[in-house]
Amino acid sequence: MDVFLDRPVGNLDAAVSFWSEVTGSEPKPQHDPGFVRLGTAAGDDWIEIQGVRTGEGGTHPDLWVDDPAAFTGRVLTAGASLVTDHGEWVTLRSPGGLAFCVARWRGQSVRPRPFAGPGGVTTRPHQICVDVGPAAFDDEVRFWEIATGWRLDPGELGEFRRLQPEPPIPIRFLIQRLDEERPTSAHLDVTCSDIPAGRAWHESLGATFVGEWPYWTTLRDPAGGTYCLTKGDPAAD
């Protein structure tokens, strides 16, 4: 699974500059206008930034599979809806409304290592958090469990369900039940060895503070996209 960060096209350069810096990546040449893939020195590429022409953007997953047609048929049966068949890839929506893409696996098999920032703080983007309202929560959890086949971990907090893949898949799902009904969305979680230090580092690069909770801090990147720094071990999570 890859992470797509969808950002307003006018802020694409700011998003690329920020996420390149905080992940230790290098932007690759654009084969398609408005799409910038971040190349990692140690591991396969797994973050792409897309410039969108309408709306505020967000985050969505790309799923890489052996047989896209068979997989698409399976997730449609499980409750997904087809958005667009692009030929080489397919765009769908989950039952709760989260957009995602399916494409043929290209042999990615090397999980990127954590990146060390200033002062020894280490980080690694490690999960897509799907934010879903109470009415759609159970169906969304069930859908992604069927779609991925990953292990479902209820966790310690009742409003969260985690889907844990086997290595070397670098990204997992965290599905969060919101307190109110609103359209389903997603954001990137970045596990961090020292959240206060990580926050200061990200703010020095243009991020802005949104809120703080016991296990995570929410920020906005310079392109306006929301993400979280989460407490954990970047080498293990």
Nearest by Cα to 123 from 222, 21, 1, 15: 21
Hey, which bits of 54-95 come out as E strands? 58-65, 81-85, 89-93
Location of structure tokens 């958090």: 129
Q: Are 3 and 59 in contact (CB under 8 A)?
A: yes
pLDDT, tens digit (0-9, with 9 covering 90-100), for 161-184:
999 998 889 999 999 999 999 999
What residues form DSSP beta bridges with 6? Answer: 50, 58
Q: Percentage of the chain with pLDDT > 90? A: 86
Q: Residue 35 above 90 pLDDT?
A: yes
Mean pLDDT of 1-5: 95
What residues form DSSP beta bridges with 126? Answer: none
Distance from chain centroid for Cα 147 = 16
128 or 29, greater pLDDT: 128
The pTM of the full predicted model, rounded to 2 decimals, is 0.95
Residue 160 pLDDT level (bands cut at 50, 70, 90)? very high
pLDDT at 28: 92
Backbone angles phi, psi at 127, to 5 degrees: -155, 150
Mean pLDDT of 147-158: 88
Q: Are 129 and 61 in contact (CB under 8 A)?
A: no
Q: Give me the numbers of helices (H) and strands (E) for the chain, helices first please.
A: 4, 17
Mean pLDDT of 184-201: 97
Q: Residue 62 above 80 pLDDT?
A: yes
Cα distance between residue 124 and residue 20, in whole Å:
12
Residue 38 pLDDT level (bands cut at 50, 70, 90)? very high
Buried b (16+ CB within 10 A) or exposed e, 9-42: bebbbbbbbbbbbbbbbeeeeeeeeeebbbebee
Cα distance between residue 30 and residue 54, in whole Å:
20
77 or 154, greater pLDDT: 77
Q: Are 112 and 2 in contact (CB under 8 A)?
A: no
Q: Residue 158 above 90 pLDDT?
A: no
